[in-house]
Structure 1
Amino acid sequence: MNMIDRWLAVGVVACWAGTLVLVKQGVAEMPPMLMSVMRFTLVAALVVPFTRIGRRHIPWLLLVSFTFGTVHFGLLFMALGLAEVGTSAVLVQLGAPMASLLACLVFREPLGLMRAFGLALTVAGVFVLAQGPTFPGFLPLALLVASAAGWAVTNLVVKLMPPLDAMALTGWSSLFCVPQLAVAALLFEGDPWPHLAAAGWHGWSAVVYSAVVSSVMAYGVWYWLLARNPVNAIVPYSMLNPVMTIGLGVLVVGESIPPLKIAGTVLILGGVLLVLRQRRPAAA
């Protein structure tokens, strides 16, 4: 994995951290499932007219639309309406070790003692970091863990599916998940029109940012990186997300950084560095 790819991965994670803060503010004005519908509708409108897919891609795109759009983002947005953004950012990172371990089973990618220790260190950091904010109740906790699992499975599906341009993958999977999320929004949130009419600046800015910056730009780059590099080389970067989210929380929302947050941050960064260092000999 070259230096340009590494910096791109860091930039992607920074975009995701910003998304969590904005969505946390936005779900106070717009229900989470409806916000997800608006987000993916905008993504599809921006991308689908300029991309093409083959018939062989459709089953894979339907699977990605479910694991990524409906499970990962739909449940994450719901959890953000029930839990603190710092806690959510921490717990959803469980998807990274899930994806790395699944990659070892499915793709037979070597784990190695040092990388295993690094992943264990990052998981320990996640749990230490989670002690700082108010820990969520059962429902938001279950939503966050399920969201993390959806993200992990999506990374493996993208690696298994026939080659497809990153923008086409982003746009068409967004299109296919819109009806899934729309049905969920109607069932759980009712008539969308009053919510849309009442939504303010925070709600709509979260929709636009999460669609244009997070989905079109950041996830397009992420899928491109996955196509070029082993899953275990890319996934650990996502564990910087809670660190960046906490930093944005301090700058934007005025949150504090208690000792447990600092300890968890150090563990996560140490684990990521161990995993990345283990990759260097193979990449040379």
Structure 2
Amino acid sequence: MRPAHLALAVVVAAVWGVNFTVIEIGLDHFPPLLFSALRFLAAAVPAVFLVGRPKVAWKWIVGVGLVLGVAKFGLLFVAMDTGMPAGLSSLVLQIQAVFTAMIAFVALGERPSRLGALGMAIALAGIGVAAVDEGASGPLGAFVLCVAAAACWGASNVLTRKAAPPDALNFMVWVSTVPVLPLLALSLLIEGPSRDLAALRDLDWQGVGTVLYVAWITTVFGFGAWGWLLRRHPASTVAPFSLLVPVFGMSSAALFLGEPVSGLRWCAAVLLVGGVALTSLAPRKKAASAVAVEPEPSPSPSPGAERLPEPEPRGA
């Protein structure tokens, strides 16, 4: 990679890592489901009028929008609102790579190599260490919700792989149109109209800034830049940079939110990031009856920070 392209990859990882700290700040201004709905609304409008028509079938846009937008981000925002630390969230969500591999094995017949299976075992050990750490210092239920969010992310990765969108930004913008109404409906039902109206009535510039960051900087810039890099470099070259996301996530949470990083959490980080690296970068085998096309690794950022896999350019 050229130095400028390498720097851009690091910037995107930093943007996605800091995103978790911004979400934590935003949750001081909004109920979690309303915040998630506003995030997708701001990501979709006005971008949906600028990116052109959808380039994949609507069934994939709706499917990914519900699984990624409603389920994954809804669970993540609720988890963080109920006590899941921002830095730990950025780390735990990386387990999505393991869920992606597991679901792809069941749904697509993609068999992980021995190295990939070893990576999954190491990453799961990291999740176990993180669970012990969080169980001793915070609400374990919020931790479970975050893991469930990672599982939903893995499912959305497999759906996106089946959709094979030729333009990641176009796909993400159209996907962002799907969760808005379901999340608003869930917010009214669960969080209540009085709480939602109070949040909107008391909206200040900090609240607006958090919505714009998670929508425009994380989604529009982040996915656009990541897709641009993937169109110019093999996925195996770009993918490892997503492993920097929890580094920036945990660092920014410690710096701006004062979140402590225990010895157990560092141990979990080493195991999880190392395991995800092996899982994401190890070659996968297609089932004998499947078409022999090598899938690209599906690294994550996220959410929220958030990353949709981009098909590897032909001939890369």
TM-score range, shorter chain: 0.7 to 0.9
Change in Cα spacing, 1:129 to 1:164, as seen in structure 2 (3 Å) is same
Contact 2:55 2:165 in 1 (8 A): no
Amino acid in structure 2 at the alignment position of 1:123: L
Q: Which residue of 1 aligns with 2:30?
A: 30
Secondary structure in structure 1 of the residue aligned to 2:63: helix
Write out per-residue CA displacement over residues 241-261 of structure 1, whole angstroms, 9 at most, x where no aligned residue. 333321112222223332112
Q: Which residue of 1 aligns with 2:91?
A: 90
Deviation at 1:98, TM superposition (A): 0.3
Contact 1:100 1:235 in 2 (8 A): no
Q: Which residue of 1 aligns with 2:311?
A: none
Change in Cα spacing, 1:162 to 1:244, as seen in structure 2 (3 Å) is closer
Q: Which runs of 5+ in 2 are unaligned?
A: 284-293, 297-315
Secondary structure in structure 1 of the residue aligned to 2:260: coil
| Match of residue 200, structure 1, among 204, 209, 218 | 204
Write out per-residue CA displacement over residues 158-205 of structure 1, whole angstroms, 9 at most, x where no aligned residue. 111153422221111111211111111111222233211213344222
1:54 and 1:210 mapped to 2: Cα distance? Answer: 22
Q: Which residue of 1 aligns with 2:51?
A: 51
Change in Cα spacing, 1:137 to 1:125, as seen in structure 2 (3 Å) is closer
Q: Which residue of 2 aligns with 1:64?
A: 64
1:147 and 1:95 mapped to 2: Cα distance? Answer: 8
Secondary structure in structure 2 of the residue aligned to 1:212: helix
The worse-fitting range, judged by mean Cα deviation, of 252-261 and 223-232 is 223-232
1:99 and 1:9 mapped to 2: Cα distance? Answer: 22
Give the structure with the larger helix fraction: 1
The worse-fitting range, judged by mean Cα deviation, of 20-29 and 222-231 is 222-231
Q: Which residue of 1 aligns with 2:249?
A: 245
Counterparts of residues 1-284 of structure 1 (less than 5 Å): 11-53=11-53, 57-83=57-83, 84-133=85-134, 134-138=137-141, 140-161=142-163, 163-191=165-193, 192-222=196-226, 238=242, 240-275=244-279, 278=282
Amino acid in structure 2 at the alignment position of 1:219: F
Secondary structure in structure 2 of the residue aligned to 1:101: helix
1:135 and 1:215 mapped to 2: Cα distance? Answer: 29
Contact 1:93 1:238 in 2 (8 A): no
Cα RMSD after superposing both structures: 3.3
Identical-pair percentage: 31
Deviation at 1:231, TM superposition (A): 8.7
Change in Cα spacing, 1:273 to 1:160, as seen in structure 2 (3 Å) is closer
1:127 and 1:276 mapped to 2: Cα distance? Answer: 19
Write out per-residue CA displacement over residues 117-153 of structure 1, whole angstroms, 9 at most, x where no aligned residue. 1232222223323444424243x24432321122111
Deviation at 1:208, TM superposition (A): 0.8
1:137 and 1:177 mapped to 2: Cα distance? Answer: 27
Change in Cα spacing, 1:272 to 1:72, as seen in structure 2 (3 Å) is closer
Change in Cα spacing, 1:275 to 1:137, as seen in structure 2 (3 Å) is closer
Amino acid in structure 2 at the alignment position of 1:267: L
Q: Which residue of 1 aligns with 2:287?
A: none
Amino acid in structure 2 at the alignment position of 1:58: W
Change in Cα spacing, 1:104 to 1:233, as seen in structure 2 (3 Å) is farther
1:92 and 1:195 mapped to 2: Cα distance? Answer: 27
1:65 and 1:174 mapped to 2: Cα distance? Answer: 6
Deviation at 1:40, TM superposition (A): 1.0
Deviation at 1:36, TM superposition (A): 1.3
Deviation at 1:38, TM superposition (A): 1.3
Amino acid in structure 2 at the alignment position of 1:119: M
Q: Which residue of 1 aligns with 2:312?
A: none
Secondary structure in structure 2 of the residue aligned to 1:120: helix
1:241 and 1:127 mapped to 2: Cα distance? Answer: 20
Q: Which runs of 5+ in 1 are unaligned?
A: none
Amino acid in structure 2 at the alignment position of 1:163: P
2:150 and 2:278 mapped to 1: Cα distance? Answer: 22
Change in Cα spacing, 1:89 to 1:269, as seen in structure 2 (3 Å) is closer
Secondary structure in structure 2 of the residue aligned to 1:16: helix
Change in Cα spacing, 1:15 to 1:56, as seen in structure 2 (3 Å) is closer
